[in-house]
Amino acid sequence: MAEIFAFPAGTPAATRPGDGAGAPQHPVLPRGVPDEVWAAVESVDAMPRLADVRYREIPVPSTLADFGIGVELEASASGRDGFGDPDDRNDRTGDPLQTRLATGWLMVLYSREPRIGWDSNWRCVGFARLPLEAGENDPLAPGMYWDGMCDYVEYAEPDSVSGTVTVTRNTAFGGLDEAPSSGCEMRVSWTPLDGTGPDATMDAGAQVNSWAAFIRSTVRPEEDDCR
C-alpha cells in the first residue's frame, strides 16, 4: 500500500500514546515523507469536521500513487420526507420515517513525479453512492447530480474535473418483499489547486471537506446545508 496517515476522530477520548488522558492525538512525521506531503497530512489533521458527517480513514492502494490520504465519509438523515426535520423525529402520527443515506470516499494522492493527465504531483479521486428519489430517476438525474457536485468541488484546476454518473435501479424478485429502489453512483477525479494552504502548501483538508459537504448536501434540505 501507499503511505497512509491516520487522523484523529476529534473525540475527547482521542489520546497520543504516553500522554495524559484527553490529550489531543496528532500524526507523527515518518522518515522519508516529503515536506509538501506532510503539510497536506497536517491540513487534514486540523480540518474542522462537518456536523452530521462521519469520517474514517481508509487505505490507498500503492498502484495509485507514492503517498495518499484516504477518508471514508457517511451522512444520513431521517424524517417523514427523509430529510431529518427535527419535528419529524418527534412525530406521533404513526407515519413511517424515511432514512436517506449517502456514503463515499476521497483519496488525495501524491506522486513524486508529475503524472500524465494530472499536470501536477497531486490528484483527488472521489466516489459517492447517493440516494435518488423515484421521481428523480429520469434522464436529467445524471446532469443534475454532476452540476451539484461541481458546486462543491473548490480549489480545483480549471477543466480538470472529470468522471461518470451512474443511475441504478434495484427490483426485487422471488421471495424478496422489497419495494423498487433507485440510487446514484459518482466516480470523479480532479487536480487540486496547490498552494491554497498555509505557506502555499496543499490544503488537503479543504479537499476532503468539499467532498464531505457535497455528500451531506444530498441528504439535507438545501436551506439547511450550511457549507
The residue that leads in pLDDT, 147 or 1, is 147
Q: Provide the domain limits for residue 195.
A: 35-77+99-218
| Predicted TM-score of the model (pTM) | 0.79
Confidence bin at 198 (pLDDT 50/70/90): confident
Mean pLDDT of 53-73: 92
Tens-digit pLDDT profile for residues 100-123: 899 999 999 999 999 999 999 999
Q: Please report whether residue 13 resides in a domain.
A: no
Tens-digit pLDDT profile for residues 66-88: 999 999 999 998 754 454 544 44
Q: Please report whether residue 113 resides in a domain.
A: yes
- For 66, counting Cβ atoms within 10 Å of its Cβ (0-12 exposed, 13-18 middle, 19+ buried), the class is middle
Yes or no: say if 207 and 149 are a contact pair by the CB < 8 Å rule: no
Q: Please report whether residue 143 resides in a domain.
A: yes
Q: Please report whether residue 2 resides in a domain.
A: no
Q: Please report whether residue 41 resides in a domain.
A: yes
Distance CA 74, CA 105 (A): 8
Tens-digit pLDDT profile for residues 133-177: 766 667 888 999 999 999 999 899 999 999 999 988 777 787 777
Tell me how many domains the chain contains. 1
CA distances from residue 144 to 76, 80, 93, 129, 224 in whole angstroms, order as listed:
20, 24, 34, 15, 19
Q: Please report whether residue 23 resides in a domain.
A: no
Yes or no: say if 184 and 203 are a contact pair by the CB < 8 Å rule: no
Q: Please report whether residue 10 resides in a domain.
A: no
Confidence bin at 182 (pLDDT 50/70/90): confident
Q: What's the pLDDT score for residue 208?
A: 96
Distance CA 30, CA 118 (A): 26
